[in-house]
Amino acid sequence: MKTIKGPAIFLAQFAGDAAPFNSFPSICAWAAGLGYKGVQIPSWDGRLFDLVKASESQTYADEITGIAAEHGLAITELSSHLQGQLVAVHPAYDTAFDGFAVPAVRGNPAARTDWAVDQVKRALRASRNLGLSAHATFSGALAWPYLYPWPQRPAGLVETAFDELARRWHPILDYAEEMGVDVCYEIHPGEDLHDGASYEMFLDRVNNHARANLLYDPSHFVLQQLDYLAYIDIYHDRIRAFHVKDAEFNPTGRQGVYGGFQSWADRAGRFRSLGDGQVDFGGIFSKLTRYGYGSWAVLEWECALKHPEDGAREGAEFIKRHIIRVTEHAFDDFAGSGADDAANRRMLGLSGGA
């Protein structure tokens, strides 16, 4: 067993144009002041981080690590969620997702995909330069518009989509192996990898690639009504990153898991600040600790009701309370009688026997 590291915070939802959220040194000072020990960096946000420089300059990477360390912080992971999304985009979402890309490739899906692949590879190289072993991202999606089987899906449609998704990601995973960094897919609605079954379909097609791992976020499973504790039992060997995010699901006579096209505040399933939702974090931290997850517990704040700064402040203490410092000895060692093979054999009636 290992003690989970933390608390840490994902900076994406807090970065902004006003101080202290508009530069890496100032946002680090803010996070440290709340009691955080680590930060997860959104690699696309130029106010905080220059991905190209981090991928090409060890000096710059060392400077970023040094800035965090000056505030008593570690960098937990880089995130390329937005770029990973663009590795695979169904044409229905071309316009909606174009804003994730640089202007030069918008309106050109092939060029956008090439840019996204380069971005994810740069994030993996930057992760190596920063001394990180895990990287957080999305898989993108080709089959997602066909999630519900009506009209009936033609034979082979989903299989073809996953074949193509694997074809695009396999070279990236091979590059991740070269860099010594795990790709941690956040299993998330809107991605083709949105639950355990879809992850397994992908994993099979990339030949169970050692770098095709998981970012565990229970909030998305609450909204899908998936057993998020059993998920840990099944996939714990692949969980290499952890977003601590709360959620609730309160179905009514008018709506359920699909949400009725309502706003986040009005959906049956919605994200909440830590402690305000329904996630059993005691069970989660216990299972992850039991299975030897020793990496970071990272707050991802998303809530339709609470102010983000309140959520961040409360989240640090919430995670700290849930981290289990693993024991170095069994609780009943005081009653131990020592190891004695001869005594053991006598207790089993084996001494002197055949």
Closest to 247 measured CA to CA, from 215, 214, 280, 199: 280
What is the share, in percent, of the chain residues with pLDDT greater than 70? Answer: 97
pLDDT on residue 352: 63
In three-state secondary structure terms, 348 is coil
Confidence category of residue 343, pLDDT binned at 50, 70, 90: confident
Residue 74 dihedral angles phi and psi, to the nearest 5°: -105, 155
- Say which amino acid occupies 304: A
Confidence category of residue 354, pLDDT binned at 50, 70, 90: low
Closest to 298 measured CA to CA, from 249, 253, 239: 239
pLDDT in tens, 290-339: 999 999 999 999 999 999 999 999 999 999 999 999 987 776 666 677 77
pLDDT on residue 222: 98
Q: Give the least confident one: 64-73, 136-145, 282-291, 336-345.
A: 336-345
129 pLDDT above the threshold of 90: yes
180 pLDDT above the threshold of 80: yes
Residues in contact with 108: Cβ distance below 8 Å, sequence separation at least 6, in sequence order: none
Q: What average pLDDT does range 20-37 have in this prediction?
A: 98
Residue 216 dihedral angles phi and psi, to the nearest 5°: -90, 120
Q: Mean pLDDT in the chain?
A: 96
Please tell me the distance from the alpha carbon of residue 62 to that of residue 41, in angstroms, as a whole number: 15
**DSSP state at residue 152:** P
23 pLDDT above the threshold of 90: yes
pLDDT on residue 90: 98
* Domains (range + CATH), the chain: 5-347 (3.20.20.150)
Q: Give the least confident one: 66-70, 143-147, 285-289, 343-347.
A: 343-347
276 pLDDT above the threshold of 60: yes
Is the CB of residue 20 less than 8 Å from the CB of residue 29?
Answer: yes
Please tell me the distance from the alpha carbon of residue 87 to that of residue 168, in angstroms, as a whole number: 7
128 pLDDT above the threshold of 80: yes
Confidence category of residue 113, pLDDT binned at 50, 70, 90: very high
pLDDT in tens, 83-109: 999 999 999 999 999 999 999 999 999
Q: What average pLDDT does range 218-225 have in this prediction?
A: 98
Please tell me the distance from the alpha carbon of residue 241 to that of residue 299, in angstroms, as a whole number: 11
Please tell me the distance from the alpha carbon of residue 202 to that of residue 284, in angstroms, as a whole number: 25
Sign of the Cα pseudo-torsion (95, 96, 102, 108, in order):
negative
The pTM of this model reads 0.95
- Say which amino acid occupies 242: F
Q: 151 preceded by cis ω (within 30°)? A: yes
User: What is the separation of C-alpha 85 from the centre of its chain, rounded to a whole number of angstroms?
Assistant: 14
Please tell me the distance from the alpha carbon of residue 334 to that of residue 337, in angstroms, as a whole number: 9
What is the share, in percent, of the chain residues with pLDDT greater than 90? Answer: 93
Q: Please name every residue paired with 213 in a beta bridge, in sequence order, or none if there are none.
A: 184
What are the CA-CA distances from residue 354 to residues 108, 341, 343 (Å)?
Answer: 79, 16, 16
pLDDT on residue 124: 99
Burial class of residue 237 in the structure, from the number of CB atoms within 10 Å of its CB (0-12 exposed, 13-18 middle, 19+ buried): exposed
Helix/strand/coil percentages in the chain, nearest 5: 45, 15, 40
What are the CA-CA distances from residue 2 to residues 52, 286, 316, 323, 329 (Å)?
Answer: 34, 11, 20, 10, 13
Residues in contact with 310: Cβ distance below 8 Å, sequence separation at least 6, in sequence order: 273
pLDDT on residue 145: 97
Closest to 131 measured CA to CA, from 175, 181, 169, 56: 181
Number of Cβ within 10 Å of residue 184's Cβ equals: 25
